[in-house]
Chains A and B, each alone.
Chain A
Amino acid sequence: MRQLIGVGYRSQLAGWINSRPAEMSCLEITAEHFFDDRTTLHKLAQHYPILVHGLGLSLGTPGALDKEYLQQFAAVVQAADPLWISEHIAFTRAGGVDLGHLNPIACTEDALANLVEHAQQVMAACHKPLLLENITTHLQVPGSIAETDFINRLCEQSGCGMLLDVTNLYVNSRNHGFDALQWLHEIEPHYIRQLHLVGYNKQGDTWYDSHAENIQQELYELTRTVMAYSNVEAIIIERDNNFPTTQQMQQELCNLEQCCIANQLH
């Protein structure tokens, strides 16, 4: 199987993306960036297989999903006709507060049931497979279920796949002192369908996923391990800040292609 390799669409990269670099075989768009811009989306969808990634459905919020938000998300999905869609195992708003960014949930039976219900609602509204992504967190919320067990059960019960963010796994393992490989091998391999990757940065003793650095060697190594373990179908570089040259972006895409080739030779 030949993996799709691409980047997350950002306006800062638009010129390069629109030049259709040979190294790029798919494109991930952030749904919220296109809630009121279908023109650009239609153009992109003509040239690339699209993956739609969500940031704000807040699947981990207890209670009902925001119906208006879901309708807007589904409208973008309909316009893009992606291979699949993805969101996070997280919450961004709860209790009347919109925190605007991803926060961890408590891995409990109630949270599991809530996420399963929400994931199924999203798939029903969008008519596309849904992948769920692990987040980076500096806060470990106590729970009653191990995170990897939670993810396996979530995928099993909801019918979703997993978007494994390799950088998030690496950063969390460093900040919270666990073995990334052991964590990986506790996830059922057939759930992992897509990867996210970007360089981490470190300040003092803390690692961050600020989406602002080139991909480091240890992340490529972890990526190769993930690919050997699972059946990854697509890899996306998620750069949001400190944008590099197009040559650097192309080099990272080539490096990932090499990871894929090396995996196929094994």
Chain B
Amino acid sequence: MSNAVSPISCIEGLAQLLSDAELRQQYAKDPELVAGQLGICAGERHLFIALPVEQLAIQAELLLKKRMREAWKIIPLSFNGLGEAAATHFYAYAGRYWPDTWRRHVQDAWHFCRYLQDEGLPWNRSEWNRLDFVYQRRYCRLGIVSDVMVAGKNTTALQLLYRKDGRMQQRIFYLGTGW
């Protein structure tokens, strides 16, 4: 059996570099070696090995920043709950997982929330319920949550999610009295 790698283009190699920090480190030390490992085609090898290392790092970081900004818009409470470590946690997650559908921002936020749950990090339950409702394309969901903010306090409540004209709607019913 042959171990030969099918030749790939400079752009395909660039995509690998932009998504893989370890590969970028290898490339910075020896671009020829990485070109060989990836099997960059002979006609574009000279383009690949001339990619500027510093600019590669900037572009790669920008991709992660853009992902984080979009995910943050979707789950702001969970990000805020992580405090100053939010970016560190997101980058740790994002380097290992790349969403691959046109719903990538929702997909990214959903997988980041799962990462937070798996790692035992703080996340917001009611926000997760909304995100999961959208990501899984659910039609109705009822659950008890304890992190709904009422008058500045976390409150236990019934959270009802449903669709109207295709869009998610939410109703919150407080348990108990006093508000």
Contacts and interface: CB of A to CB of B under 8 A. Distances in A.
Interface of A: 32, 35-37, 39, 56, 60-62, 69, 72, 91, 93-101, 103, 105-106, 108, 110-111, 137-143, 206, 241
Contacts of B16: 95, 97
Contacts of B101: 98
Contact of B56 (A32, A139, A142): A139
B66 interface: yes
Is chain B's binding surface mostly helix, strand, loop or mixed? helix
B53 to A, nearest CB: 10
Interface residues of B, number: 37
B75 interface: no
Given A32-B102, A39-B165, A106-B47, A97 B66 contact: no
Given A95-B15, A99-B19, A142 B51 contact: yes
Contact of A99 (B15, B44, B55): B15
A201 to B, nearest CB: 13
Ranked nearest first, the 7 interchain pairs of A and B with the lowest CB-CB distance are: A95-B12, A94-B15, A139-B59, A98-B100, A139-B55, A97-B15, A138-B58
A99 B165 contact: no
Is chain A's binding surface mostly helix, strand, loop or mixed? loop
B11 A106 contact: yes
23 contacts: A39-B166, A56-B102, A62-B9, A62-B11, A94-B14, A94-B15, A95-B13, A97-B19, A97-B98, A98-B104, A99-B18, A99-B19, A100-B66, A100-B104, A101-B66, A103-B14, A138-B59, A139-B51, A141-B14, A141-B51, A142-B46, A142-B47, A142-B50
Nearest to A143: B47
B135 to A, nearest CB: 12
Specify which of B9, B59, B102 lies most central, judged by the most chain A CB atoms within 10 Å of its CB.
B102
A106 B59 contact: no
Contacts of A100: 63, 66-67, 98-99, 104, 108
A35 to B, nearest CB: 6
A168 to B, nearest CB: 14
